[in-house]
């Protein structure tokens, strides 16, 4: 009876350890599922939901990026802002999405572009160190 009880305890301990390994593996895969690869449409929709469009003010654009910390602001000047969504942190093969806002002298957005660096004439990655 004592051998049977210790064998049951050993089996229970093994199942507990294996079950613990399985749940931590599923937790890490769940964390990867939560990390999203943002497309141009995703970024564009987030900006539209926040009402960041042409004719938005410089302060409204800055407020958007302050309230959305997953974006990295690379350059923020009086005449332009360059930011990016770091998709390459989630998947090294995914393109980062860049946002370029150019401002008029009065501080309103005159041009707003979203896209991967391959879509731009400028060397956008050079703005992000």
Question: For the chain, which residues make up each domain, given as ranges?
Answer: 1-34, 36-127
More confident residue, 127 or 100: 100
Name the one residue in this structure whose structure tokens are 């943002």: 38
Q: Helix %, strand %, coil % for the chain, to 5?
A: 50, 20, 30
Model pTM score: 0.69
What is the rounded (10 degree) CA torsion for 89, 91, 95, 98? -30
Predicted confidence at residue 117, as pLDDT, reads 77
Arithmetic mean of pLDDT over the chain: 79
Cα–Cα nearest to 62, from 47, 45, 48, 81: 81
Q: What are phi and psi of 56, to 5 degrees?
A: -70, 160
Would the pLDDT of 122 be above 60?
Answer: yes
């Amino acid at each position: 009876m004592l051998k049977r009880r210790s064998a049951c305890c050993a089996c229970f301990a093994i199942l507990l350890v294996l079950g613990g390994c399985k749940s931590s593996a599923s937790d890490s895969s769940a964390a990867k599922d939560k990390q999203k690869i943002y497309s141009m449409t995703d970024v564009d929709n987030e900006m539209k939901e926040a009402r960041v469009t042409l004719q938005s003010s410089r302060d409204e654009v800055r407020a958007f990026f302050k309230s959305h910390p997953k974006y990295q602001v690379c350059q923020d000047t009086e005449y332009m802002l360059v930011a990016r969504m770091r998709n390459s942190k989630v998947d090294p093969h995914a393109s980062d999405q860049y946002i370029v806002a150019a401002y008029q002298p009065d501080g309103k957005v005159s041009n707003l572009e979203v896209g991967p660096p391959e879509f731009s004439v400028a060397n956008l990655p050079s703005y992000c160190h």
